[in-house]
Structure 1
Amino acid sequence: MSTVVITGSGSGIGRAIAVMLADRDWTVVATDVNEVAAAETRELLSTAAGQTHVSRQLDVTNGDAAQAVADEIADSLGLDAWVSNAGISFMERFVDIPREKLDLTLDVNLKGVFLCGQAAARAMIRNGTSGRIVNTASMAGKQGRVPFLADYVASKFGVVGLTQAMAFELASHNITVNAVCPGFVATAMQERELAWEAALSGSTPEAVRGSWVAATPLGRLQTPEDVARGVSFLLSDDAAFITGESLSVNGGAYMD
């Protein structure tokens, strides 16, 4: 039975990934900076395949903490895969983004992926595991034509590049590294972004939501489960010869 650690799995996309992978017979380690939320996710997970899921508190900006989780799981359950999903966003005009907000976005969205990737890779290499690492980027990691999210765009472009660099270096250890690039995902984070963009653009949340749907050729906002299916594929044997890729999962909202 394979074991996967998922960061930022206390809600939204991370929780959907955890639920789907458990349904597909993975043993899940649900981690989140919010320990209660991680435990709530753990309680939602299927044990039909006989799994014993666990949850851990993890601040992804703390490299020592990430290493401790990776080593613990590698030693107790075996670490077969790691999904670096934790991320944050806020919206502001480029010229008005305060430095402390920039630092926080880069720390969580980029540095967190870097530190967790290091931790997972070290543990997998130590155990001789042919592992999988998947990073959550964004379609904002492939195009800068996104309003009021310059710091987020920078962080996610960084994740796309980091994914390639990790894939290149870790290939000799039989560890694949890929990313998923979601689009307009219906989550609590999106609800906040709708309100922020409406306020900054002089519009309404309903009008902004309509513009997002109109920008998506498949004609709807995507669900967290849409993203989870992409992650599940990248962790599967079907993706065994795919590495360094950033898979667009966005209903056609951005095509490359």
Structure 2
Amino acid sequence: MTQTVVVTGAGSGIGKSVAAELARRGWQVVVTDINEEAALATVAGLVAADNQHHEYAMLDVSDPQDAQHVAEDVANRLGLDAWVNNAGISFMQRFLEAPIERYDKTLEVNLKGVFVCGQAAARAMVRIRSKGAIVNIASMAGKQGKVPFLADYVASKFGVVGLTQAMAFELAEHSITVNSVCPGYVVTPMQERELAWEAQLRGTTTDQVRQQYINDTPLRRLEKPEDVARVVAFLISEDARFITGEAIAVNGGAYMD
């Protein structure tokens, strides 16, 4: 029987790669994003066997009604075996100059979005008695504060790591596992924006900042979205059924805990 997974923020970056990797492994993928055009493009690029029917849905991860509608609709029609909370945003600014509006928006998407969607997914899984898996995309910035110009992002991702543990503890009685993945310097459109912001804030070039990211990574390369996607695939597989509440570092050694 084909299993179904929902991936948030799958219109680009890590989410798009996660959707592609899971489709290749036989999962039926529901691609969600706040950008309909991007979600459609991701679905169009997914491989599909005869038993796979990929779909997309527009989703504002911070809207409880929106999340509940997607979760219940998918559970009712396709079953719901896994949910990947990937949607996230970032904005770089010095802590002393960071506007509170940016803090509010970052936490609304990065932390509230995981709470809202995780709750909606779990409710649907419990209702249909699915022994499912939830994976939250955090960051190595969720394990250390030594990250320049991203105080609001750091706060949100530390929150995701803690929320993952709380969810795992309470959902264990329903045989639902909850884990987070903590990537490092991943080559995505988000990183391209961050390179430009950081270069401007440091008074240097994007190439120099990029090289610093590589220098900070013992494996001596930037991370690819596929590096993250493969770990997500493991965490929602049967091989990981006795892993819950963990924050798995996938960063080439850039931060070791």
Q: Could you tell me how far apart the structure 1 residues matched to 2:249 and 2:96 are?
A: 29
Paired position in structure 1 for 2:37: 36
Q: Bigger CA drift: 23-32 or 34-43?
A: 34-43
User: What aligned pairs does 1:1-256 form with structure 2 within 5 A after superposition?
Assistant: 1-48=2-49, 50-256=51-257
Structure 1 segments (4+ residues) deviating >2 Å: none
Q: Could you tell me how far apart the structure 1 residues matched to 2:64 and 2:113 are?
A: 8
The residue identity in structure 1 corresponding to 2:234 is F
| Superposed displacement of residue 48, structure 1 | 2.2
Q: Could you tell me how far apart the structure 2 residues matched to 1:26 and 1:36 are?
A: 22
The residue identity in structure 2 corresponding to 1:213 is I
The residue identity in structure 2 corresponding to 1:12 is G
1:88 alignment partner, SS class? coil
Q: Bigger CA drift: 49-58 or 70-79?
A: 49-58
> 1:6-28: CA deviations, max 9, x gaps?
00000010000000000000000
Identity over aligned residues, as a percent?
66
Q: Could you tell me how far apart the structure 2 residues matched to 1:193 and 1:130 are?
A: 38
Q: Could you tell me how far apart the structure 1 residues matched to 2:214 and 2:97 are?
A: 28
> 1:104-144: CA deviations, max 9, x gaps?
00000000000000000000001111000000000000000
Q: Could you tell me how far apart the structure 2 residues matched to 1:16 and 1:199 are?
A: 29
> 1:40-88: CA deviations, max 9, x gaps?
1111111125201000000001011000000000000000000000000
Residue ranges of structure 1 left out of the alignment (5+ in a row)? none
CA contact (8 A) 1:25 1:49 kept: no
Q: TM-score, normalised by structure 1?
A: 0.99
1:161 alignment partner, SS class? helix
Number of aligned positions between the proteins: 256
| Superposed displacement of residue 242, structure 1 | 0.1
| Superposed displacement of residue 36, structure 1 | 1.1
> 1:201-238: CA deviations, max 9, x gaps?
11111110001000000000010000001100101111
Residue ranges of structure 2 left out of the alignment (5+ in a row)? none
RMSD: 0.6
Q: TM-score, normalised by structure 2?
A: 0.99
1:129 alignment partner, SS class? coil
CA contact (8 A) 1:222 1:250 kept: yes
Q: Could you tell me how far apart the structure 2 residues matched to 1:203 and 1:173 are?
A: 51
